């Protein structure tokens, strides 16, 4: 194999470029940005699917809404990654991210560094990376690295792991809500009903007093509940930590 071929990226599948298309204030500039995202994806060895080339409300006004849904849904569900631009609020982007979640497609969120991200979008379990950028060079580097990370995992047949910084962002965004979780809900999340004796009593007491791990159980549950499908594993981890603390500190 010659050197040129060795440097050619191997096509891994399709990258769906998700972004707002309806009622854009500056449609040409926004669509040009989507083209940049597609270029970065193609540099990573992916085929980019750009909805504005196929189902754009301006470019393809004669397509009926159901056809638009079926066309774009087919591309989302068959993609190996969905790149979602979150800089412009969009119902369509939210629907596409949820479709990705339903079909096990990892999502990489892209947004300007100074723009907030919807907590509902950020909390979606499909989101594995969040790329915040200040300029195009930074975007190319960060998105390229995120796609490489997703690609290396999907080639091995495993589900991409949610990046630690994504978990932290979800935790911060949802902390206040987590603190307001009802005691009964917290107890259910930790599966207290599956244990008994001293451990169950200690957990219930910690829930009521908010003293678990010295930070408040609701905060902890808020952090791990945001891992979505990993919640049962997180609950088991919390229970193990609880038992250790009981043994080492002889109660709370």
Query: Do 102 and 135 fall within a single domain?
Result: yes
User: What are 148-173's pLDDT values in tens digits?
Assistant: 988 765 555 555 555 545 555 554 45
Give the domain-ending residue among 161, 178, 200: 161
Give the domain-ending residue among 161, 190, 225: 161
pLDDT band with cut points at 50, 70 and 90 for residue 40: very high
User: What are 106-146's pLDDT values in tens digits?
Assistant: 999 999 999 989 888 988 989 999 999 999 999 999 999 99
Query: Do 31 and 83 fall within a single domain?
Result: yes
The per-residue b/e assignment along 28-53, b for 16 or more CB within 10 angstroms, e otherwise, is eebbebbeebbebbeebbbebbbbbe
Structural domain that includes position 39:
3-161
Query: Do 201 and 231 fall within a single domain?
Result: yes
Q: What is the DSSP string of 142-156?
A: HHHHHHHHHHHHHHT
- Kindly report whether the global pTM for this prediction surpasses the value 0.75: no
Query: Do 144 and 218 fall within a single domain?
Result: no
Pairing mode, strands 81-85 and 13-18 = parallel
Domain count, the chain: 2
């Amino acid at each position: 194999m010659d050197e040129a071929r060795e440097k050619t990226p191997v096509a891994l599948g399709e990258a769906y470029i998700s972004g707002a298309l309806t009622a854009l204030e500056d449609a040409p500039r926004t669509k040009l940005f989507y083209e940049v995202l597609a270029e970065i994806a193609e540099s990573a060895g992916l085929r980019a699917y750009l909805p504005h080339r196929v189902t754009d409300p301006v470019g393809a006004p004669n397509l009926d809404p159901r056809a638009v849904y079926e066309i774009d849904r087919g591309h989302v569900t068959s993609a190996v990654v969905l790149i979602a631009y979150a800089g412009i609020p969009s119902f369509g982007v939210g629907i596409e991210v949820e479709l990705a979640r339903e079909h096990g497609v990892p999502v990489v969120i892209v947004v300007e560094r100074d723009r907030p991200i919807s907590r509902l979008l950020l909390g979606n379990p499909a989101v594995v990376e969040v790329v915040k950028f200040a300029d195009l060079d930074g975007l190319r580097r960060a998105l390229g690295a995120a796609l490489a990370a997703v690609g290396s995992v999907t080639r091995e047949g495993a589900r991409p792991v949610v990046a630690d910084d994504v978990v932290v962002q979800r935790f911060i965004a949802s902390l206040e809500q987590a603190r307001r979780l009802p005691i009964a809900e917290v107890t259910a999340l930790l599966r207290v009903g599956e244990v008994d004796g001293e451990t169950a009593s200690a957990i219930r007491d910690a829930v009521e007093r908010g003293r678990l791990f010295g930070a408040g159980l609701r905060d902890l549950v808020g952090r791990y509940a945001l891992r979505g499908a990993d919640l049962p594993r997180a609950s088991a981890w919390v229970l193990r930590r609880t038992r250790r603390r009981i043994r080492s500190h002889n109660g709370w």
